[in-house]
Structure 1
Amino acid sequence: MEYSSRKTVVAAIRSYTIARGVDYDDHSKLDSDTVAEAIRPLVETDPSIKVKSIIAEVQSRFNYTISYRKIWLAKQKSIAKVFGDWEESYQALPWWLSVVVQKMSGSVVQIETRPLYNGNEEAQGEKTLHRVFWSFNTCVRAFRHCKPQVQVDGTHLYEKYKCTLLVADAQDGNQNIVPIAFALVEGETADAWHFFLRNMRMHVVRKDGVGMISDRHESIRVAVYRFGGDWQPLRAWWMFCIRHISSNFLRAFKVPHLQKLVVNIGYSRTVEEYNINYKRLEERGEAYARWCDDIGLRHWVLAFDEGHR
């Protein structure tokens, strides 16, 4: 956080307390509500402002340490006032997605829900969100002009609702990255990936002969082979991300000086180039070469993927 921003935090707190007739040095009146109002403009500008930055600056300038809990509560209250609280946002999600479809004709939203239970009894007329897939109309149309290749990955969300965001990207002729599909799911399970890939195939990636690049997650493998051909040759080719493979190799063997050689194997464009790089790795240890053998050449070495990458 820049110095000027930290200075603004303190100035905002001080000016707000003075405006309300509160002596800044009267620490007992500097509660989380007061701090929340003071930092509200800053939170609106930068919701990711660090709690520790506010604490440190107040301590250094006024020799008073506001507790982490008080600042944390103040920040949450400010965020709720500016952006709405977690529950309101969660309840608004179906409405927001329905408006997206109405205002952006051609956009796609698929929601799966589950029954809500009170103990062992199902609550009548009540549902909970299980998964949601969406793709904006601009993304659907943009993919028609991209290379016949998609890359999929997932990332964990760590706030109140701990789910997983799945994303699919494509690339245009100028090598610009184009996001084309999204999903919020319960985790990187086989069912979740099946839900994502099925909807993406149905609504976005309709052309045949497309390549899909991912990591080697077992759940993706199960989902790919569950489709009965939608993500398999000749309709599609499943390939592995070389960056993920190099990371997996480093995790397995703890030999960073060989990681680049594994990358070179993956990017070998001819059989001769592959043989040279593979031999170099094998000379440094047969276990390294056997590990690469288990991946399957077609899935990650350019010389053997028939040009689909």
Structure 2
Amino acid sequence: MQPHQSCRYNKSKFTNIKTTYKVADIKCDMKNDHNINVNYNKAWRSKEKALENMRGNATALYAELYTYLFMLHNTNVGSIIELQLTANSCFMYVFIALHASIKSWNYCLPVVVVDGTFLKSAYGGPLLVAATQDAGGRIVPLDFAVVDSENDLSWEWFFTKFRKGYRGREDMLFVSDRHESIIKGASKVYLEVPNAFCIFHLLGNIKTKFKKNLKRIKEEFVSAANAYSVKKFNYHMNELEKVNKRVQLYLQEIGYEKWAKVYSTNNRYSNMTSNVAESLNSVITSIRELPIYTMLESL
């Protein structure tokens, strides 16, 4: 069987983007269904060809991106859709905030969780997301952006476009991990909005920096972070000091207002972690494998 014949045979396996169909599965099915031994290279080429036929060519779809965004804007009037190119007209950034999300903003919690994840398509790159919750605790995606890399410029660009669509609100708060570019970008564009840290990521930093008594450290840190009174907070911080004084000093240097609920300058509600954005990222795991055109449409 030739590669193009194997490709036709495998095409149906990729109709659903959530289907995981590996090269080893192709080899196994070809052997079981047709009694044909296919080497790894041929099976891989047939998979790539089938994916291209079903989902489009990754390179060609970049060329169609401008047309797609133009039509998306025309059919979603009021959306913020921006495409940034390099000096030699190559792709750099794209930002999408649909009008439906922008309209919902005033009816959601004023807490915006931002996060970045990596795309798995041929050209890769980070996908930046911002999300919040409605009054019922349901996740509301606010915007998506694809950038060349997670750096100071890309995050500042992201927050600039975010402000264009969502502006600011009273008691607004950003929640993120401690990525320096997020912190710089948010503070530069939203000088008046505090940036709080995800306690799960902060706990990961603590585990990396301090190796002993991690179970006790975790218990006291999480309890202190979620404490509703200064008295309760101080109790757990004193207990933490008994376990490891250096951890207590480390958290003090970061700033209690960055991670402790009782010291937060604005209400964090239940957003002590960046789970809102990470849950969104987990839902779109399979979508991250698509070429940019079809990925944006799926999002």
Question: Post-superposition shift, 1:65?
Answer: 4.2
Q: What is the aligned partner in structure 1 of residue 4 from structure 2?
A: 33
What amino acid does structure 2 have at the position aligned with 1:216? R
**Percent of matched pairs sharing the same residue:** 25
State the shift of 1:186 in Å: 1.4
The alpha-carbon deviation at position 226 of structure 1 amounts to 2.6
1:85 pairs, out of 44, 57, 61, with 57
- Which residue type is aligned with residue 133 of structure 1? F
Q: Match of 1:153?
A: 115
Cα separation, 2, equivalents of 1:276 and 1:52: 56
Runs of 4+ aligned structure 1 residues displaced above 3 Å come to: 56-65
The 8 Å contact of residues 10 and 26 in structure 2, kept in 1 or not, is answered as: no
Q: Which moved more, 1:133-142 or 1:48-57?
A: 48-57
Deviation at 1:159, TM superposition (A): 2.5
The number of residue pairs the alignment matches comes to 265
State which of 94, 112, 129 in structure 2 corresponds to 1:167. Answer: 129
Does structure 1 residue 246 correspond to structure 2 residue 203? Answer: yes
| Offset of residue 306 of structure 1 | 3.5
Q: Which has the larger radius of gyration?
A: 1
Which residue of structure 2 aligns with residue 232 of structure 1?
191
Matched letter for residue 48 of structure 2:
Q
Q: For 1:280, which of 239, 257, 260 is the aligned residue?
A: 239
Structure 1 residues 175 and 147, CA gap change in structure 2 (3 angstroms) = same
Question: What SS does the corresponding residue of 1:150 show, helix, strand or coil?
Answer: strand
User: Among 46, 53, 65, which residue is 1:74 paired with?
Assistant: 46
> Aligned partners of 2:119 and 2:99: how far apart in 1?
25
Show the counterpart of 1:197.
159
Letter in 2 for 1:112: Q
TM-score, with structure 2 as normaliser: 0.82
Contact 1:112 1:131 in 2 (8 A): yes
1:143–1:205 contact (8 Å) kept in structure 2: no
* More strand, by proportion: 1
- Is contact 1:209–1:237 with CA below 8 Å preserved after alignment? no
Alignment check: 8 A CA contact 1:153 1:168 kept: yes
RMSD, aligned α-carbons: 1.9
Query: Which of 70, 74, 86 is 1:98 aligned to?
Result: 70
Structure with the larger RCO, 1 or 2 (CA within 8 Å, 6+ apart): 2
- Structure 2: which 5+ residue stretches go unaligned? 269-299
Aligned partner of residue 272 in structure 1, secondary structure: helix
Matched, 1:107 2:66: no
